């Protein structure tokens, strides 16, 4: 068995990676070891050339490149432990530094316009429109990653919860369902013919039991925005940002939000606290004793300090 296939098998059997992650690792490693390259002929200068080509000619983003580099580092760590082959320069090759990006949460009015746009431009195929509205509601109501939503089957919809079995890093978690989301899912179940326990929650077509792809779900969002003149970027991942940001804005505990999102590191969740600077500024102004009308502290400190 080729070494890459052995490594992917190791990730599946030992690390318990999801099928989605396994396929991504396999694709990334095959992308790197094209042509005559093998693990023992590939060196750091080859890797630097590969990174440069991917950035300049294929315009790959730092996040995409870093995902591929993560797969490569993992492969070489496995080669060291299992086959006594080491290339420390590749095994410790650093990630590409990505520019800081502002997390984006959609406003409630934008979400309302988005869903209303699906309803107003409903096709004769009402099944498809119901499916799309359910997708939007579930993403916003649970904070699921699009890959997690795409992998759901009806057996994952349990009593008052959604079970995510193949989360990032192969972790399982239960996400509670709001009563409104439960009602939407129940209505959707009554409209789709594919309701066996192993059937995908969101099939590609009414007469086809194949699951929607993540790329198609992303395209649904893009097409709906264009059709309804929504200039604000709205993607499946925006729903996840909106879920977290709106929970925190309404007083949710950050560690509870971390659990719901499936973040291993609290620092990842903390990014949502700085995602809406205007909201935080208003909250600061309203909550601090120096701005309270009946605050004794405010009365003790003069508005102007005379020199």
Catalytic residue annotation: 145, 168, 237, 240, 263, 272
Using alpha carbons, list the distances in angstroms from residue 8 to 13, 30, 76, 169: 9, 12, 13, 14
The single-letter DSSP state of residue 291 is G
SS3 label, residue 294: coil
* Closest listed residue to residue 221, CA positions, set 158, 140, 305: 140
Q: Which residue has the tokens 């309270």?
A: 292
Nearest CA to 93 among 126, 117, 70, 118? 70
**H helices present in the chain, as ranges:** 3-13, 19-32, 44-56, 62-83, 88-91, 108-120, 126-142, 146-150, 179-191, 214-227, 236-249, 254-261, 266-270, 277-287, 296-300
- At 170, list the tokens: 């192969």
At 143, list the tokens: 């904070």
Helix (H, G, I), strand (E, B) or coil at 235: coil
Closest residue by Cα to residue 145 from 135, 154, 153, 155: 135
How far apart (Å, rounded) are the C-alpha atoms in residues 245 and 252? 10
């Amino acid at each position: 068995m080729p070494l890459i296939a052995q490594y992917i098998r190791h990730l599946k059997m030992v690390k318990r990676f999801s099928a989605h992650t396994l396929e991504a690792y396999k694709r990334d490693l095959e992308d790197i070891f094209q042509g005559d390259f093998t693990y023992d002929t590939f060196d750091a200068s080859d890797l630097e050339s590969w990174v440069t080509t991917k950035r300049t000619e294929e315009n790959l983003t730092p996040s995409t490149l870093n995902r591929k580099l993560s797969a490569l580092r993992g492969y070489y760590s496995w080669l060291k432990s299992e086959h006594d082959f080491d290339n420390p320069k590749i095994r410790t090759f650093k990630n590409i530094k990505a520019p800081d990006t502002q997390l984006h949460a959609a406003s409630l009015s934008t979400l309302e316009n988005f869903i209303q746009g699906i309803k107003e431009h409903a096709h004769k195929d009402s099944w498809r429109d119901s499916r799309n509205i359910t997708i939007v509601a579930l993403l916003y109501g649970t904070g699921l990653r699009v890959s997690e939503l795409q992998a759901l089957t009806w057996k994952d919809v349990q009593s008052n919860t959604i079970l995510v079995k193949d989360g990032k890093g192969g972790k399982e978690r239960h996400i509670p369902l709001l009563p409104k989301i439960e009602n939407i899912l129940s209505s959707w179940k009554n409209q789709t013919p594919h309701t066996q326990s192993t059937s995908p929650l969101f099939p590609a077509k009414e007469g086809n039991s194949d699951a929607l792809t993540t790329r198609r779900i992303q395209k649904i969002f893009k097409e709906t925005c264009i059709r309804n003149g929504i200039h604000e970027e709205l993607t499946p991942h925006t729903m996840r940002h909106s879920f977290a940001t709106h929970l925190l804005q309404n007083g949710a505990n950050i560690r509870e939000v971390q659990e719901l999102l499936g973040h291993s590191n609290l620092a990842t969740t903390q990014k949502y606290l700085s995602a809406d600077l205007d909201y935080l500024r208003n909250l600061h102004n309203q909550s601090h004793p120096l701005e309270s009308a009946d605050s004794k502290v405010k009365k003790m400190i003069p508005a102007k300090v005379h020199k």
